[in-house]
Amino acid sequence: MDKIEEKTVSENDRKKEYLRSYRYHVRRIHRINAEIAELREMKLHPSMKPDDGMPHCSGGRGDLSGYAAELDEMINELIEERRQRIRTYKQIVQQIKRMKSRNESDVLFYRYIKGLDWWEIAEKMGYSQRHITRIHGKALAHFELPKDVLECPIDP
């Protein structure tokens, strides 16, 4: 692979990483919600001792301060993740809307914002899956990363 190809590959990888950052926040929100639900579920039901299989009080029901603090911390984390998701969404969608080709912007939106598979995008747009991947390649070539992203590393 020559220098031009290496630059294109790493540039395209950087663009994909940037575009995927929105879905990263979506996954984090789902994960935090699942952790909160699990924490609440554990607090509602008594624990089981492995030796006899009978329910026993774990002593945690009397003092709720630790539980409340942990739950509060997770809720704050969820709120912050939602803020980041909104900021990231606005930034990425703004960049996608700047593209000249409607097909290219649609492919990027469906792939990176909606998280659709190639076949789903093809079905939605009325093209073959192969044609969608070609449009995607052109879209990446035409997509411009924001200047602030070019200056600092992406970290999801």
pLDDT in tens, 29-38: 999 999 999 8
Distance CA 33, CA 40 (A): 11
Q: Count the Cβ atoms, other than its own, within 10 Å of residue 23.
A: 18
Q: Count the Cβ atoms, other than its own, within 10 Å of residue 154.
A: 15
Domain ranges of the chain: 3-50+64-151
Phi, psi (rounded to 5 degrees) for 52:
-120, -10
pLDDT in tens, 37-80: 988 888 776 565 555 555 555 544 556 778 888 889 999 999 99
- Measure CA of the first residue to CA of the last residue in the chain; give whole Å: 28
pTM: 0.75
Q: How far is CA 65 from CA 41, 61, 68, 72, in A?
A: 16, 10, 5, 10
What pLDDT shows up at residue 110? Answer: 98
Q: Which two tokens stand for residue 57?
A: 């009080």
